[in-house]
Structure 1
Amino acid sequence: MKYKILLIFCLYFTLNSISSADWRKPFFRRISTTEGLSQSHVSAILKDSKGFMWFGTDEGLNKFDGYRFSFFKHYPDNPSSIDDNIVFDILEDYDKNLWVGTNNGLNKFDRKKNAFSHFFKEDMHLNVRDIFQDSKHRMWLGTSSGLFLLDLKKGSYTQFRHEQNNRNSLSNDFIFKIIEDKSGDLWIATKNGLDRFNPEKKTFLKYFHDAKKVNSLETNWIKVVYRDHSDNIWIGMLGGGIAKYNPVNNTFKSFKHNPQKANSLAHNDILSILEDRNGRLWVGTENGGISIYNEKEDRFTTVAYDPNDNNSLSNNSIYSLYEDNIGNMWVGTWSGGVNFLPKFGNKFTLYKSILNQNGLNNNIVLSVAGDSDGNIWIGTDGGGLNFFNRKDHSFSAIRNQSGNKNSPNTDYIISVLEVEKDLLALGFHRGGFDLYNRKTGVFVHHLPILNNSNSLSAPSVNTIIKDKDLNLWIGTWAGGLNFYDRKADKFTQYLHDPNNSNSLCDNFINILWEDSDGTVWIGTDNGLDAFNRTSGKFTHFKHNPKDPTSIRNNNILTIMGADKGKIWIGTGGGLCLLDKKTKSFKVVTEKDGLPNNVINGILKDSKGCLWISTNKGVAKYDPQTNIFRNYTIADGLQGNEFKAKSAFQAKDGQMFFGGPNGLNSFYPDSIRDNDFIPPVYITDFQIFNKSVFVGDKDSPLNNEISETTEIRLDHKQSVFHLSSLR
């Protein structure tokens, strides 16, 4: 027998507190027809008690297990199918039954049989916009034909409709939403007014727009009514913005869009309202995105679609808002499918180039360094030198200007280093090496001079470090190692000599590092060297397939000091820890938990854990426990691939990693992981690689697989697969 188990883990993030002082742009994950959604207009969202997500669309009901979709559509020749493909609402009642309101009626879903039963007769053609169960477990429907109270035991109903000239009737038969207040009254949003209904007395109290009253509703077309955790009643209108009901004087406080105020409501056409667990009111508008209300500051922050950002909202018309039991936010849109905002936020802040916005001017980050003022300098692949002010989060750039000597030699900056306050060293791709004085704005250029051994040895400078005397060591591409004496303005070249075993092992240098003894460590494409400045000799460390204590791989990408005189070496074949005394290496690879063996950057946090950038995300590694926690693009990384030399740690502990799609930053202590343990359900059962369903010919399933406790197979069904949701 062959078993196949697929484990799908819930994403779990947070959105930072939204205030004028602290605002981070939400990082949405889009779920569209590309990912398997049946249609992109999502009117209803629900997470059921088993952990499955349900989406109501204009092309059927969708069930999502975090990995794949199942669809439920109307089929005229199947009386057990859903009665219509246009789904308006989904409810799981107190008894865990699933109800679906459609353009043609009310459906009850049988989870075991994957089948629907229909509450109303087929010829009623009832448009069910809202399903609501009150505190006494009574089921109410808001429809295009009035208000319905269902008797589920008898299968009967009581209907309340608008009656002309009857003040004790509905204001209008077209109902969008129903909620219950703390007194047990129902608030009903209709196409022509807001109604307050007492279920015991069967009386209606009506609220309309009154041009003579400042504190009345702004319009009569009420799209949504919502009760928050403080028992406030909020009303969303078409053309009238939102209003908060004041029960003391029976008036409404209005909030509308004001084009003169940036922090006003984004749009006056309201489609949905939700209060999150942090007390923030999310207002879904039509064509204006989401406005998030901070009541303390009495201001809105708007989240909207950005055509230049694939992680912005996918569409600005917000038809459904839903917060699940973990705290993840789900947003249903008019034509952009579902937008998912995981609870624990972006673990990583992302800086990138976005048209007409302040940010990087080029997304390919080749190098990162800090200065004495706490700011960040970023070398890019074609965008020149970018400056990031950490205090005001602003960016600026210094570009090459043809004919201007006081500009960078090129816009392709592979290495950045602060030599001393206000003096930067820049290494270029085919542009040599510059010293840039920030105060004077002067650039001093250094390029190779033909037949001059006291000049720079090669035009491409990969890495620069400063020693204790503030002189510079420069690693080049194909030109070996250079020592630059700043006082003498003179270069000393160290090159590979195949006839001298004490010379540099390779002329292609990726990384340099100086230890506390003054030894310069050189990472090349063909091994690791230790340079003794006193003797002028190079000691070589190379991979020996016959020696398990040798370095894992000869492509050396990054070097960082470790405790007790040891050194961490990042290679193209894994992470290595060098013991300088024994000259032996301990190796950590993908087999041990690394996401990838290409180690581009290594930083250490205050607790001794290493943060490692690779070609498959960022890993947190605890050398004491040998435990890994790996992060990917799903956690907010700029991408899964990172660049060597694009790792930097500020004095306050903030870390920066750069790659082909921008720059990530984070504080290690602020990274919070998912402590939610999801339930496990079998979601697919296959015999000979073919999924089997209830009702199939020769199917061993009597119930849907996630509702099945026992399966009996005959000898012809000996090869089967199980897939699970966790």
Structure 2
Amino acid sequence: MDRNRAMDVSVNDLVQDETGNFYFGTDFNIMIFDTLGNLSVLNPEQVSGQEKFEGSFVRNLQFDSHGILWAGTNNGLYHYNPRNNQMAYFKLPFDSFQNKEIWEIYLDEEGVLWVGTYSAGLFIVSPDDHSVEPVTLEPRLNRTETVRAVSKGVFGEYWIGTRGGLYAYSKARGVTGFYKHDERDPRSISNNSVLSVLNDARGETWIGTRGGLNLLAKSKQVFHHFGALPGDNNYLNSSIIYAFWIDDEGKIWIGTEDGGINIFDPETGKYEYLVARENQPNSISQNCIKAFLDDKRGNLWVGTFLGGIDVINLKTREINHFKHTPGKAGSLSDNRVWDFCIDRNNDIWVATSGGVDRFIRQTNSFEHFPQLNGDNQVSWIEPDSKGNLWMGSLDEVIVYNPELNTISRFAEHTRAMFEDSRNRIWIATIDNGIALYSAETGALKYYNEKDGLANNQALCILEDRSNNLWISTTNGLSKFNPDEEFFRNFTSKDGLSNNQFCYGAAMKTSDGQMLFGSVAGFNLFNPAEVLNEDTDVPIVLTDLKIFNKSVPIGNGKKSVLQKSISETGHLVLNYDQNMFTVEFAA
């Protein structure tokens, strides 16, 4: 065979075996270039009764840990044993009408193969027992059934590139993220058609698409963003978020500014919307949702702005309404409802623009407590472990003990209270950061921008499993170690959807993940996956200038640069070349 002519073909993939032989996948077969320099076409023995291999368009080649060569072709999947020169067809569970093209074969650290197909999605194949397990990728969108790339990331997740977007996948949890192009977001993936994925030695993820090359930095892979696009149930219908609640099925209920309640199903990636409808009593009262409360009796209480309270029976979806009726005793104090809480006696308390009410379950009515803040607005209310109720008016922190009937007041402009795992009380202020508080004496210490907080207007506080506090602000998110009194801040540059967070919109899930709502949707992340600040960044020299002019690379003895500045070990300059600039990237 004419070796030069034989190689004048398209080579789609190549691999090398343990002895040094090269195998090339071409448009018509597999070719072998052995260690003696001989080039030949693979001519294997075919298992009788199976689909013939010869003439196949070979797109992928991959050796498994047993030295068996797997070949992905336009006719399906084959495996070749070099020891006995036998080729066998491997049957994947295609439907009879489906295209059988193989587009990816990836060998992971556990020795199993991830096989991406054109029309049937992704399969995990065990070379040991030849078992096949389909990989469920949700949401299923147009062209996501074509899997063209698989790569393992620094956090142990797998990155799966399809014609319809990019999935992050965990063997334990399934799909953990989905990325697709959004014309409104310049930071989104440049094109849904993913051709290749590479995770480099630093843990950065490089994504090749039909729209160019994308880099997803490892530090930005932690924050998952969920945005709004009205009319498409793969998105929120409103971008401003005020409240969260998670039901027993793991669905996330989201209170929005003007889109009612959005119910997100992480399994499907789809949203259901509960919105106000005129002349329909069994709809919610208003589309501006400020608060949720699970009453532990099978009902979800919904605080609305101008619509009072809606109580949703979670089993039947029937909705009861409580509203302010002027002159009627026992009605809600005001239809502008800001927050709820349940005390240690399982009584429900309501913070409204007309003060504080307690719900009387026996009479289905409300008792007003004017002694707390008259008929004036209370923006939040929260119980502590000692039986106190903490609440924030427009200019005070009010601490009320219902059992002792005691009230303490402290001048403060606030948005939230949080009691941590050590029973310390933290207050989010809107002008002085966060404050460590005492129910008896008020503020003990403030932590604000001077101490490293992202912004003095603090909104919500949560605690992670390592006892760090996470504070949302109007200019980013802060992580705070109370013992070391150290802050670390995160902004949109770190992968957050937006720096402007919203009051009330924060929740920790049962598995330790955190939800924070903003004016541009919400972020979901696991604090344990947030990397420490990366100071080990390689520096690359990119240009040398003398008197503000770039120095060219030359071959002469007088040339300053004999090769690229990035590859130059030392420089020798004349005495009159005393103004120079070195540019670098990191």
TM-score class, shorter: 0.7 to 0.9
> Which amino acid in the other structure matches residue 540 of structure 2?
Y
CA distance in 2, matches of 1:213, 1:467: 73
Q: Give the secondary-structure state (helix, strand or coil) at the position aligned to 1:643.
A: strand
The offset of 1:476, in angstroms, is: 2.7
Displacement of 1:328: 4.3
Identity percentage over the alignment? 27
Q: Aligned partners of 1:532, 1:652: CA distance in 2, in Å? A: 32
**Partner in structure 1 of residue 347 of structure 2:** 471
Matched, 1:160 2:19: no
Structure 1 equivalent of residue 566 of structure 2: 706
* 1:245 to 2:80 alignment: yes
Aligned to 1:152: none
**Cα distance, 1:677 vs. partner?**
3.5
Q: For the Cα contact (< 8 Å) 2:164–2:193, is it kept in 1? A: no
What is the rounded CA distance, in whole Å, between the counterparts of 2:120 and 2:498 in structure 1?
26
Contact 1:277 1:327 in 2 (8 A): no
Deviation string 1:603-641 (CA, Å, 9 cap, x unpaired) is 123332223333455433221123444455576655444
Residue number in structure 2 paired with 1:530: 399
The unaligned stretches of length 5 or more in structure 2 are: 137-146, 148-160, 166-178, 183-187
The 2-side partners of 1:282 and 1:636 are apart by: 29
- The counterpart of 2:58, out of the listed 222, 236, 244, is 222
SS in 1 for 2:50: coil
**How far does residue 665 in structure 1 lie from its aligned partner after superposition?**
4.1
Aligned counterpart, 2:417: 559
The alignment partner of 1:706 has SS state of helix
2:294 matches 1:418: yes
Shift of the 284–324 alpha-carbon distance from structure 1 to 2, 3 Å rule, reads farther
Structure 1 residues 384-414: Cα deviation after superposition (integer angstroms, max 9, x where no partner): 3345678999865544343232332123221
Residues 328-365 of structure 1 show CA distances to partners (whole Å, capped at 9, x for unaligned) of 443323x2212446668943555666877677665543
Cα drift, residue 568 of structure 1: 0.7
Out of 187, 205, 208, which is 1:332 matched to? Answer: 208
Alpha-carbon deviation of 1:427?
Answer: 0.6
Deviation at 1:187, TM superposition (A): 1.2
Residue among 409, 425, 437 paired with 2:285: 409
The CA RMSD measured in Å over matched residues stands at 4.6
Give the structure 1 partner of residue 356 of structure 2. 481
Q: Which residue matches 1:110?
A: none
1:209–1:596 distance in 2 versus 1, CA, 3 Å: farther
Correspondent of 1:694 among 548, 552, 560: 552
Give the letter for the 2:80 counterpart: Y
Aligned partner of 1:153 in structure 2 is none
* Counterpart Cα distance in 1 of 2:531 and 2:120: 28
For residue 42 of structure 2, give the secondary structure of its aligned residue in structure 1. strand
Separation (CA, whole Å) in 2 of partners of 1:434 and 1:577: 34
Counterpart in the other structure of 1:445: 321
Q: Structure 2 matches for 1:284-683, cutoff 5 A?
A: 291=122, 293-295=124-126, 297-299=132-134, 302=147, 303-306=161-164, 309-310=180-181, 315=191, 319-333=195-209, 335-340=210-215, 346-348=221-223, 364-370=240-246, 376-387=252-263, 396-439=272-315, 441-451=317-327, 455-477=331-353, 479-493=354-368, 504=373, 507-531=376-400, 539-542=409-412, 554=413, 556-562=414-420, 566-573=424-431, 574-632=433-491, 637-651=496-510, 653-669=512-528, 677-683=536-542
Q: Distance in 1 between matches of 2:393 and 2:574?
A: 60
Between the two proteins, the alignment pairs up a number of residues equal to: 533
**How far did 1:428 drift?**
0.5
Answer whether contact 2:226 2:522 (CA < 8 A) is retained. yes
Aligned 8 A contact 2:47 2:86 in 1:
no
Deviation at 1:415, TM superposition (A): 0.5
CA contact 1:190–1:221 (8 Å) conserved in 2: yes
Query: Aligned with 1:448: secondary structure?
Result: coil
- Which of 198, 203, 206 pairs up with 2:34? 198
3-state SS of the aligned residue for 1:619? strand
Contact 1:620 1:629 in 2 (8 A): yes
Structure 1: runs of 5 or more not aligned: 1-145, 147-158, 163-169, 496-501, 543-553
Amino acid across the alignment from 2:286: T
Secondary structure of the 1:608 match is coil
User: Which residue is equivalent to 1:546?
Assistant: none
Deviation at 1:572, TM superposition (A): 2.9
In the alignment, the residues of structure 2 paired with residue 401 and residue 275 of structure 1 have an alpha-carbon distance, to the nearest angstrom, of 53
* Matches of 2:249 and 2:30, distance apart in 1: 58
Shift of 1:516: 3.7
Paired amino acid for 2:390? W
Question: Aligned pair in 2 of structure 1 residues 232, 417: CA closer, same or farther (>3 Å)?
Answer: same
Distance 1:217 1:510, change over 3 A: farther
| TM-score of the aligned structures, taking structure 2 as reference length | 0.73
Offset at 1:234?
Answer: 3.3
Q: Are 1:182 and 2:6 matched, yes or no?
A: no
Spell out the pairing of 1:261-272 with structure 2 (5 A cutoff). 268=101, 270=103
Distance 1:411 1:581, change over 3 A: closer
The 1-side partners of 2:237 and 2:63 are apart by 45
Q: Which residue pairs with 1:109 in the alignment?
A: none
1:618/1:276 CA distance change after superposition, 3 Å: farther
